[in-house]
Amino acid sequence: MQGVVKAYDPVTGDGVVMCDTDLADYDLAHDALEGSLFRMVRQGQRVVFDLDDAGRATHLRLGSEIDMGTPGSHDH
């Protein structure tokens, strides 16, 4: 799934990602950044993610700028 980070607290690791397709909000799983390039994420950052069994966003990773159609990206 693809989405945008709506909120993230680097101290607690709590955060919310909004999915592009259904505009639903998903809380970040406690291990959402484990094994990823991210140590933290920022509000407005575009990410690709999976959902865990509890319906939380996990396995956050970068997607291709072209695949995600990031606004303002002029590197084609």
CATH number where 58 lies: 2.40.50.140
- Amino acid 64: pLDDT: 57
Helix, strand, coil shares, percent, the chain, to 5: 5, 35, 60
* pLDDT tens-place string over residues 12-43: 989 999 999 999 999 999 999 988 777 888 99
CB 8 within 8 A of CB 40: yes
Whether residue 20 is contained in a domain is answered as yes
Percent of the chain past pLDDT 70, that is, above it, reads 82
- The answer to whether residue 73 scores a pLDDT higher than 50 is no
Whether residue 71 is contained in a domain is answered as no
The neighbour count for residue 44, using CB atoms within 10 Å, is 9
Whether residue 34 is contained in a domain is answered as yes
Q: Which domain holds residue 53?
A: 2-66
